[in-house]
Amino acid sequence: MTDSQKVDAFLANQTKWKEKLQQLREVFQKTELKEEVKWGKPTYTLDGKMVAAMADFKNHMALWFHQGVFLKDKHNKLINAQEGITKALRQWRFEEEDEIDSELILQYIEEAIVNAKAGKEMKPVKKKEVSIPDIFRNAMAKDKILKESYNNLTSGKQREYAEYIGEAKREATQQNRLEKCSGMIKQGVGLHDKYKNC
């Protein structure tokens, strides 16, 4: 299945946002961007770099600009969907009653293309190495399943557990936290996963 067919299928499965997403796609098709599918959503790239994407949500749909921080946003359409977390990504949200202003959207997309060609890109900041507390390191030395499960977690989840256990001042508290977390680590879940899917 080609990327174009994947986008056709994505749109065919839509109910609430089908018409508006199709209108956005038509705007993208007026540009030189390549239509692809990443993370199951229509994504538009230039020379292999993501420029923009569109996505559907329960209460809104969105147009994403991967380096949106560099857009002038004269019409105040863009928001940072995760303040303090996302640095470059910006989102333009549409609700049911919102009209798709194709000309204005095209202006934003064309500006994003110009920025991409100019190499405007915010690089992710490399996070420091995870510091594993001694009590946790010793427990993993004794429990191979715990160690293997921990090593299979993403670096972000590893950091969450290491910091949570290590920030306790008393050794007894660290031990309690370690016991509480061991089962979760072996299940492959993150410390805060239950809150992330709300």
Q: Which of the four pLDDT bands, split at 50, 70 and 90, describes residue 195?
A: low
Q: What is the pTM of this model?
A: 0.63
Q: How far apart are CA 16 and CA 13, in angstroms?
A: 10
What domains appear along the chain, each with residue ranges and CATH number? 3-117 (3.90.1150.200), 134-196 (no CATH)
Sign for the CA dihedral angle at 75, 93, 192, 162 comes to: negative
Check residue 65 and give its pLDDT.
96
Q: Which tokens is 198 given?
A: 């709300």
Buried b (16+ CB within 10 A) or exposed e, 100-123: beeeebeebbebbbebbeeeeeee
Structure-block tokens of residue 75: 């019409």
Neighbouring C-beta atoms of residue 181, cutoff 10 Å: 21
pLDDT of 129 strictly over 80? no
- CA pair distance 99, 119, nearest whole angstrom: 32
The rounded distance, in Å, linking the Cα atoms of 1 and 5 is 6
Q: pLDDT tens across 51-107, in order?
A: 999 999 889 999 999 999 999 999 999 999 777 777 899 999 999 899 999 999 999
The predicted structure's pLDDT at residue 3: 87
User: Residues 107, 27: contact at Cβ < 8 Å?
Assistant: no
- Which residue intervals of the chain are DSSP H helices? 3-12, 18-28, 102-117, 134-142, 144-152, 155-166, 171-187, 193-196
Give the confidence band of 197 by pLDDT, cuts at 50, 70, 90. Answer: very low
Cβ–Cβ contacts within 10 Å for residue 60, how many? 15
Q: Which pLDDT score is estimated for 125?
A: 65
